[in-house]
Amino acid sequence: MKAILTLKRKPSANGCTIGELSYNGKFFCYTLEDVVRVGEKVPGATAIPVGRYPVTIERSPTFKILTPRLHNVPGFAGVLIHAGNSAIDTRGCILVGLAKLPSNVKIYKSQDAFQALMAKLLDASSIELTIA
């Protein structure tokens, strides 16, 4: 079965970007990324561009576990979807969590969200992420 992920971002605020991740058309969890910037990329502090990306499951050299890795991201390399709570944890990656603060500066229950997402993605024949 093909896994279709869709990330709908809210406007960047408070040094980060909150979003909602859907799995095959149904809300799955919240996301947190770096700030969306127009123009020059700030290394380690810029969200990836809007677009459609193929995703594979690969062993992360940093985390030493299997993680979703995005491919063909213009100007970026090594973009993962992983657990984390705030912009300091992203470095250009997408964080997932089951809860968020009303102030939209942190997400929580990140490990739970990551494990649930991995359980779904490990069974997928292919994975695609669209960021809007």
Domain at 58, CATH number? 2.40.440
Cα separation, 94 vs 89, in Å, equals 9
Task: For residue 102, give its domain range.
Answer: 2-131
Cα separation, 94 vs 57, in Å, equals 14
- What is the pTM assigned to this prediction? 0.95
Q: Which residue has the higher pLDDT, 121 or 38?
A: 121
pLDDT for the residue 91: 87
pLDDT for the residue 103: 80
Asked if the model's pLDDT at residue 66 lies above 90, the reply is yes
The tokens for 88 are 């300091």
Average confidence score pLDDT of the chain = 95
How confident is the model over 67-79, as a mean pLDDT? Answer: 95
- Closest C-alpha to 7, from 78, 59, 27, 15: 27
Q: Which residue has the higher pLDDT, 94 or 38?
A: 94
Cα separation, 40 vs 116, in Å, equals 35
pLDDT for the residue 53: 98
pLDDT in tens, 113-122: 999 999 999 9
- Alpha helices by DSSP H, listed for the chain, are 110-121
Per the structure, the count of domains in the chain is: 1
Report, in angstroms and rounded to the nearest whole number, the Rg of the chain calculated over CA atoms.
Answer: 13
pLDDT in tens, 104-113: 789 999 999 9
76: buried, middle or exposed (CB in 10 Å: 19+, 13-18, 0-12)? middle
pLDDT for the residue 39: 81
How confident is the model over 42-66, as a mean pLDDT? Answer: 94
Confidence of residue 102 (pLDDT cuts 50, 70, 90): confident
